[in-house]
Chains A and B, each alone.
Chain A
Amino acid sequence: DGGITQSPKYLFRKEGQNVTLSCEQNLNHDAMYWYRQDPGQGLRLIYYSQIVNDFQKGDIAEGYSVSREKKESFPLTVTSAQKNPTAFYLCATRDRGTVDEQFFGPGTRLTVL
């Protein structure tokens, strides 16, 4: 998992509530990504950011929001507009200056009750 921290590991929320997932990195990587993973499916891109104060929608951005105020942090908010938020959420980083490989955090399992 390297220098990527996701907290908490398990998160529970009531239907209709917004919740924010944390992702912090000390790798000094410029790019950060959020993915959603459901059983039997690959990783699907929610949002990504290549530089501070800038971010782009991925394939499934509806019902989610992000911010990138600091290089080290890329929090993801799951809003009440997300119809099926229960999933495993993964944060990743990439060093744009060198390689294309993405490094992943340990993930957060979100369950909506």
Chain B
Amino acid sequence: GESVGLHLPTLSVQEGDNSIINCAYSNSASDYFIWYKQESGKGPQFIIDIRSNMDKRQGQRVTVLLNKTVKHLSLQIAATQPGDSAVYFCAENESGYSTLTFGKGTMLLVSP
């Protein structure tokens, strides 16, 4: 598959642990944020999003936290499974602009 994870920050966890992946964004005017999951050799898949009028949003086994004061975004994955192993990207958007700005990504490795 595609070796997109080469030289990326890596988080290694055991199956069943909770995982926290962090992202610092750059544009204080950004008001929409997305987390994507990318498995080897595949395109990114949407996980969860959040708008700047919220500081927390929960999905199935995932939670996104937004701290606008320090421009920080985190993705929490509960009860991490081997199938969660992938590269995770955050992306930001500012209203009125039709493009996303992506972070460099974090590789999550889950051991059985």
Q: What residues make up the interface of A, taking CB atoms closer than 8 Å to B?
A: 1, 4, 6, 31, 33, 37, 39-45, 48, 50, 58, 88, 90, 92, 94, 96, 100-107, 109
Q: Which residues of A contact B98 (CB under 8 A)?
A: 31, 48, 50, 94, 96
Q: Of A92, A96, A100, A105, which one neighbours B93 at CB under 8 angstroms?
A: A100
Cβ of B104 under 8 Å from chain A? yes
Which chain A residues lie closer than 8 Å to B8 at the CB level?
A: 40
Majority SS of interface residues in chain B? loop
8 residue pairs of the A-B complex, CB under 8 angstroms, read A37-B2, A40-B6, A40-B7, A42-B89, A44-B102, A100-B100, A104-B43, A105-B43
Nearest neighbor of B97 in chain A, beta-carbon distance? A100
Q: Are B4 and A104 in contact (CB under 8 A)?
A: no
Q: Which residues of A contact B3 (CB under 8 A)?
A: 39
- Considering only CB atoms and an 8 Å cut-off, how many residues of chain B contact the other chain? 27
Given the complex of chains A and B, what is the CA–CA distance between A31 and B99 in angstroms? Answer: 10
Across-interface contacts of A42 in B (CB, < 8 A): 89, 102-105
Q: Tell whether, in the assembled complex, residue B89 and residue A43 are in contact, meaning their CB atoms are under 8 Å apart.
A: yes
Residue picked from B89, B93, B98, B102, most chain A C-beta under 10 Å: B98
The answer to whether residues A39 and B5 also contact, given A48-B99, A94-B98, A100-B93 and a CB cut-off of 8 A, is yes
Contacts of A41 in B (CB 8 A): 104
